[in-house]
Amino acid sequence: MLTASDLRKGLKVQIDGNPYIVTDFEFSKPGKGQALYRTKMRNMITGNQLVKTYRSNDKFEKAELEERKMQFLYSQGDEFHFMDTENFEQLVLTREQLGDNTHFLIDNMELDVVFYNNLPIDVTLPIFVNLAVTKADPWAKGDTSGNDTKPVTVQTGYELQVPPFVEEGDKIQIDTRTGEYVTRVKE
Amino acid sequence: MLDRKRLHLRAAFFRFIRSFFDHHGFLEVDTPIRQPVYIPESNITPLKSEKEYLQTSPELCMKRLLAAGHSKIFQICHCFRKEEKGRLHLEEFQMLEWYRNGADYYQLMVDCEMLLRFLLINLLELQAEKNFAATSFFSGINLDHTWERLSVADAFARYSPVHLDQALREGQFDEILVEYIEPYLGTVAPVFLYDYPVELGSLARKKADRPTLAERFELYINGIELANGFSELTDADEQRARFNLEIAAIKANTGGDVLMPERFLSDLQQLDTAAGIAMGLDRLFMVIINDQRIADAVTFSPEDFR
């Protein structure tokens, strides 16, 4: 059993027979009052949001999830196709189910698909992915504005802040847990 | 880790606080951080240190000093509260407490106004002196604007979907305070929220004419609670009865046994009227320099050890 003090972003819990992932979480405690854990969660099957406030003594069950190694094949509109690398069975996840994970999916990428009661519901991405920069403003040398980052777009359409020396066509490594730039990679 | 400018501002912040209290005739004291007893409060859990505890507040020692006859004392010290971790909480934090013999909670509200204005004036001077890039201290909140005093009952009437009595009956007081009331407190000028239900102030004196209320207040700026002050409960028998309620609640929650702070209760008999307040200094510094997270306002935060 988990208690409210175990709550953190990314934790997967089971509520009324449904798996939820914690998407946002804030600890608050009015003076002399009780600890309150204000939590936003996403139903991992329906994608519905759940906003709830818990107290220290509230208990949770960990969601019983199973992961299988798969390959991401391609996306078509809001459907994302995956293939089991052992038995070649294919399955589809929707954009809604994948949430922000779609920012980091590239064709033929290997990852884990998450199952709940044998239903595919989500993916677990590798921690680091390398993506190509498709749009970046050129770096004006001698720029004295003091900005130490600039926005770029990568091949999946995801936008992020990077150091000014990153250029269009570069490959950059991104931490999928935070969505932040890690380093430029040479291939 | 703090950058150079913040480190200098933080050092000055502590220096100005000390000179404020020195100027007003307060005696600076220091008391043990580690003690064999802790304040029985059901919503505050201490960290253990061998067979003793790290203080959650220096309150008991401060009041024993008052009982010994000292009239105006203050202390700046580290306090520890287990599992209080969040945007506005660190398990270890710096607390400022000051106490006045013969005073009540209204005097402490006046102290708060004077202290914060004194800090602002001096920090602005320092900023100019050191040529620091200008920071809008207190995010531009006008401290000269009248500081509103809003009773808890009026705050519920103004902001809450349910009446105060109903919130208390249904155990929803904290939720409603956090969700519906706090975000609106102190957004124009600082606000004192005062006269709390007596069950929410286990060391505070009851109001003589309204015994369901305690003479307790909280200071808010920008929706953030910065200080908790009250007229001290100095009736040792009533204090024992209130501690017993807290101890029973702690036992029910954790199954653990809690020692009654006997030496404190016996010293309390020597105390007549007094008022005291605790102010979270890391949080105050965060609000002054307009940071959003307490971890960004301390020299080292837990994140700096990961």
Residue A20 has pLDDT above 70, yes or no: yes
B182–A30 CB contact, under 8 Å: yes
Residues A48 and A70 in one domain: no
Domains of chain B, each with CATH number or no CATH? 4-305 (3.30.930.10)
DSSP label at A145?
Answer: S
Q: Supply the CATH number for residue A33's domain.
A: 2.30.30.30
Choose the final residue of a domain: A62, A81, A113. A62
Cβ–Cβ pairs < 8 A, chains A and B: 52
Give me the pLDDT at residue B135, please. Answer: 83
Residues A58 and A77 in one domain: no
B43–A36 CB contact, under 8 Å: no
Residues A120 and A163 in one domain: no
Place of tokens 């970046």: A136
In which band, very low, low, confident or very high, does the pLDDT at A45 lie, cut at 50, 70 and 90? confident
pLDDT in tens, B208-238: 999 999 999 999 999 999 999 999 999 999 9
Residue A144 has pLDDT above 60, yes or no: no
Residues A120 and A135 in one domain: no
Choose the final residue of a domain: A75, A97, A124. A124
Using a pLDDT cut of 90, give the percent of chain B over it.
91
In which band, very low, low, confident or very high, does the pLDDT at A146 lie, cut at 50, 70 and 90? low
Interface of A with B in 134-163 (CB under 8 A): none
CA angle B19, B25, B28 (to 5 degrees): 65
Residues A133 and A88 in one domain: no
Question: Could you tell me if B70 and B25 are in contact, meaning their C-beta atoms sit under 8 angstroms apart?
Answer: no
CA angle B249, B252, B253 (to 5 degrees): 90
According to DSSP H, which parts of B170-301 are helical?
173-176, 236-254, 262-268, 281-288
Give me the pLDDT at residue A126, please. Answer: 92
Contacts of B295 in chain A (CB under 8 A): none
pLDDT in tens, B162-205: 999 999 999 999 999 999 999 999 999 999 999 999 988 889 99
Choose the final residue of a domain: A62, A79, A104. A62
B175–A27 CB contact, under 8 Å: no
A30–B225 CB contact, under 8 Å: yes
Residues A56 and A36 in one domain: yes
Alpha-carbon distance of B152 to A140, in angstroms, equals 56
Residue A145 has pLDDT above 80, yes or no: no
Residues A119 and A158 in one domain: no
Give the nearest chain A residue to B172 (CA atoms): A34
Residues A139 and A156 in one domain: yes
Give me the pLDDT at residue A56, please. Answer: 84
In which band, very low, low, confident or very high, does the pLDDT at A147 lie, cut at 50, 70 and 90? low
In which band, very low, low, confident or very high, does the pLDDT at B109 lie, cut at 50, 70 and 90? very high
Give me the pLDDT at residue B241, please. Answer: 96
Using a pLDDT cut of 70, give the percent of chain B over it.
100
Interface of B with A in 96-135 (CB under 8 A): none
Question: Could you tell me if B55 and B34 are in contact, meaning their C-beta atoms sit under 8 angstroms apart?
Answer: yes
Give me the pLDDT at residue B221, please. Answer: 97
Residues A57 and A13 in one domain: yes
Residues A55 and A73 in one domain: no
Give me the pLDDT at residue A142, please. Answer: 61
Residues A142 and A103 in one domain: no
Domain count of chain A?
3
Residue A166 has pLDDT above 70, yes or no: yes
Domain coverage including residue A104: 66-124
Residue B127 has pLDDT above 60, yes or no: yes
Give me the pLDDT at residue A9, please. Answer: 85
Give me the pLDDT at residue B160, please. Answer: 96
Option in B83, B87, B225 nearest A5 (CB): B83
A32–B201 CB contact, under 8 Å: yes
| Count of C-beta atoms within a 10 Å radius of residue B83 | 16
Residue A159 has pLDDT above 80, yes or no: yes
Q: Supply the CATH number for residue A157's domain.
A: 2.40.50.140
A53–B179 CB contact, under 8 Å: yes
Residue B73 has pLDDT above 90, yes or no: yes
Q: Average pLDDT, stretch B251-258? A: 88
Q: Biggest alpha carbon distance in chain B?
A: 56
Residues A74 and A54 in one domain: no
Task: Assess A178–B contact: CB distance below 8 Å, yes or no.
Answer: no
Contacts of B12 (CB under 8 A, 6+ apart): B122, B123, B126
In which band, very low, low, confident or very high, does the pLDDT at B154 lie, cut at 50, 70 and 90? very high
Give me the pLDDT at residue B306, please. Answer: 84
Give me the pLDDT at residue B106, please. Answer: 97
User: Which site among B39, B178, B218 would you substitute to test the A interface, given the most A Cβ atoms closer than 10 Å to its Cβ?
Assistant: B178
pTM for the whole structure:
0.83
Contacts of B43 in chain A (CB under 8 A): 29, 32-35
